[in-house]
Structure formats: structure tokens, C-alpha cells
């Protein structure tokens, strides 16, 4: 078969829509959206309810708020505005950041893989699971080292650790780091703590390797300082997979539990065993949708000994 190159494929799940950019057997990037979320590039109409200079707050007919910037001088409170979303809402520890938008006087189409990607019944085996598990653990391993990710309100931090010498460890980390940025859908400010490299030539070598690894990823980057720290800044479009786990781990685990229930094959009853904290997150309409998709009854049992992320699905005899 001829090479087709990277392709976005989309899986419409229960309670979420997932997208993977796949090149052969390799995942290059991932995206995730939950129902009702605003997303970058979305066009909508809202009323301007407050204005302070070029910024203000708008409200949709459904009562949902957005922050609006670059407001024209002639626009006044009470005006109906055609808006385009520039950033989805962000939940952070202790606060909630409203979605951002701007006046869509000259709409610029934004490529949205979740809308335009190829719809598939299921992703290739294991691909979503690998991305999901890595984001859940916040750790990516590579030969001789690992990347440890931590989400903070200010930035996403990446610590590079391993048994190699500092130079080879730093160089070996650049490729896995670049892939992880896409797999986790990261944006905003990202701080990377490389091993300390005293020689200027070694730091320059890592800077060059970073430039090559991130050549197709739009961003700005500082040079490595004497302590091994590098900062990346990229467009922040919405919550990354890491942010979702940091602020809604139970919600992420609940949706994965339903995916496992949907994927198990066989005749009979689907038995889904979950941690008790997960059961309250499983909405009745989601359970009904799993039953509709599988054509089987769905039974939920709880086991406090299970980890939040370790829901298990199996087929049991007819009820």
C-alpha cells in the first residue's frame, strides 16, 4: 500500500471524543474533548455584559460566560457579538479560567482535527491506552532515562532523570520530549529541567537537538541556562491531557472505564467493576449509551481495592 503520511483519526466515545494523529504505528499527537466544551476556532454569538477598555465579558443565550479581548472601541455593553473562541476553559487547582474569545469580524478558519479527522469505530489496538496511561502516570520512559511531568498553575514542568551521563541523557531526552508534547496536547508555558551541563558546548548541542526535534511544533524557546533549564512557550488552546488528569482524574477514569466496557466482546452481560468513587461519575445516559452500542445489559459493581484508573470489564452469563 502507498504511504499516506500522518492522519488524524477520531473515535466518538461515551462522554468524550478522542483524536490521534497517527503515522503508521506511531502516535504523533492526541486531542480530547468533552461534550459541551468550547474549543478554539468555534464560532458563536454572545452578548457583551461588561467592558473595561479592550477587554470584557460576554454571555451566551444559555448563560455561559466568556472573556473577550481586542474589543473595538465602538462596541458597547449590551451589544450582540459574533465571536470566535481562542482558548477553551481551564480548570486549575483552586480556580477556574473562563474560555477566551475575540470578535469574529474577519473569521479565520482554524483546523479542528476532531471535526475534520477520519471517523473510526475503534483506534488501532493499544494506541489510546498507551497515551492515556502515560498521561495518567505523568511519566515517559526512554532508553536510560525518564521524563517526569508535573502540572502547576504557572506552567507545566518536566524533570529529566536517568542513569546516563548528563550530556548523553539530555540529548537522548529531546526526541521523547518532543513526542510527548504532541501526545499530551501541551501548550502554554513549559519548563524543562535538564541535567546541569557545565560546558557551553554541551548546552549548545542540546539546544541544537531541541531545535531539530521541535522543528514542526510552533513555539518560542529560551536557550539552556547554566542550571540546565529551558522554557518553551506555545499557543495554549485548552486543557492538555495532563491538565485533565490533574483536575479531573476521576472524570478521566470514568470515561476510560466506559471505553473498556464498550470494547469487550462477547454475548451475555457486561460486568464493569470500578472503584466506588467512580460509580457516582457514571451518568445514567452514559450507561444507557454503552448498552445501546454493545447490545448487552451493563452491570456495575464496586471494589474499593481497585485503583481509580484500574476499572475492569468482562462478559458474564445472562441475567
Instruction: List, edge to edge, every strand of the sheet that includes 188-193.
Output: 139-142, 145-151, 156-162, 188-193, 229-234, 220-221
What region, left, alpha or beta, does residue 9 occupy, with left being phi > 0 and alpha being psi -120 to 50 degrees?
Answer: beta
Question: What is the torsional sign of CA 247, 251, 255, 258?
Answer: positive
pLDDT classification of 319: cutoffs 50, 70, 90? low
Residue 183 to residues 113, 176, 308: CA-CA distances in angstroms? 14, 10, 22
pLDDT exceeds cutoff 80 at 262? yes
| pLDDT tens digit sequence for 107-156 | 566 789 999 999 999 999 999 999 999 999 999 999 999 999 999 988 99
| pLDDT tens digit sequence for 63-80 | 999 999 999 888 899 999
pLDDT exceeds cutoff 50 at 1? no
Q: Does domain 127-234 have CATH number 3.40.50?
A: no
Q: What is the rounded average pLDDT of the residues 274-302?
A: 96
| pLDDT tens digit sequence for 155-199 | 999 999 998 999 999 999 999 999 999 999 999 999 999 999 999
* Residue 265 exposed, middle or buried by CB count within 10 Å (0-12, 13-18, 19+): exposed
pLDDT classification of 96: cutoffs 50, 70, 90? confident
pLDDT exceeds cutoff 60 at 2? no
Percentage of the chain modeled with pLDDT above 70: 96
Q: Are strands 220-221 and 229-234 parallel, antiparallel or unpaired?
A: antiparallel
pLDDT classification of 95: cutoffs 50, 70, 90? confident
Q: Are 158 and 149 in contact (CB under 8 A)?
A: yes
Of 288 and 96, the structure prediction assigns the larger pLDDT to 288
Distance CA(162)–CA(296), nearest Å, equals 47
Ramachandran angles phi, psi of 106, nearest 5°: -135, 80
pLDDT classification of 104: cutoffs 50, 70, 90? confident
pTM (2 d.p.): 0.90
Based on its alpha-carbon atoms, the radius of gyration of the chain, rounded to whole angstroms, reads: 22
Q: Which fold has domain 43-103?
A: OB fold (Dihydrolipoamide Acetyltransferase, E2P) (2.40.50)
Give me the pLDDT at residue 105, please.
75
* Average confidence score pLDDT of the chain: 92
Domain ranges of the chain: 43-103, 127-234, 245-316
| pLDDT tens digit sequence for 3-42 | 578 999 999 999 999 999 999 999 999 999 999 999 999 9
Q: Is 127-234 in the same CATH topology as 43-103?
A: no
pLDDT classification of 318: cutoffs 50, 70, 90? low
Give me the pLDDT at residue 91, please.
82
Amino acid at each position: 500500500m502507498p504511504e499516506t503520511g500522518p492522519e488524524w483519526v477520531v473515535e466518538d466515545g461515551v462522554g468524550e471524543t478522542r483524536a490521534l494523529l497517527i503515522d503508521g504505528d506511531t502516535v504523533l499527537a492526541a486531542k480530547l474533548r468533552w461534550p459541551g466544551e468550547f474549543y478554539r476556532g468555534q464560532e458563536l454569538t454572545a452578548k457583551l455584559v461588561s467592558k473595561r477598555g479592550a477587554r470584557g465579558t460576554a454571555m451566551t443565550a444559555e448563560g455561559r460566560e466568556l472573556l473577550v479581548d481586542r474589543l473595538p472601541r465602538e462596541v458597547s455593553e449590551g451589544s450582540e457579538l459574533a465571536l470566535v473562541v481562542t482558548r477553551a476553559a481551564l480548570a486549575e487547582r483552586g480556580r477556574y479560567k473562563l474560555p477566551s474569545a475575540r470578535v469574529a469580524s474577519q473569521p479565520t478558519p482554524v483546523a479542528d482535527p476532531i471535526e475534520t479527522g477520519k471517523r473510526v469505530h475503534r483506534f488501532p489496538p493499544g494506541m489510546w491506552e498507551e497515551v492515556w496511561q502515560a498521561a495518567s502516570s505523568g511519566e515517559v520512559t526512554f532508553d536510560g532515562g525518564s521524563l517526569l511531568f508535573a502540572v502547576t498553575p504557572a506552567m507545566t514542568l518536566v524533570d529529566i532523570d536517568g542513569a546516563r551521563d548528563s550530556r548523553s541523557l539530555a540529548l537522548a531526552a529531546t526526541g521523547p520530549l518532543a513526542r510527548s508534547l504532541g501526545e499530551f496536547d501541551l501548550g502554554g508555558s513549559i519548563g524543562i529541567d535538564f541535567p546541569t551541563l557545565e560546558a557551553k558546548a554541551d548546552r549548545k548541542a542540546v539546544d541544537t537537538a531541541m531545535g531539530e526535534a521541535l522543528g514542526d511544533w510552533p513555539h518560542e524557546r529560551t536557550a539552556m541556562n547554566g542550571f540546565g533549564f529551558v522554557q518553551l512557550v506555545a499557543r495554549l488552546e485548552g486543557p492538555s491531557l495532563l491538565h485533565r488528569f490533574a483536575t479531573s482524574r476521576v472524570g478521566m477514569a470514568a470515561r476510560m472505564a466506559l471505553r473498556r466496557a464498550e470494547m469487550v466482546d462477547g454475548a451475555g452481560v457486561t460486568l464493569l467493576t470500578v472503584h466506588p468513587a467512580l460509580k457516582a461519575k457514571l451518568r445514567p445516559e452514559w450507561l444507557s449509551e454503552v448498552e445501546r452500542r454493545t447490545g448487552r445489559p451493563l452491570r456495575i459493581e464496586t471494589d474499593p481495592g481497585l485503583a481509580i484508573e484500574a476499572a475492569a470489564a468482562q462478559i458474564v452469563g445472562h441475567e
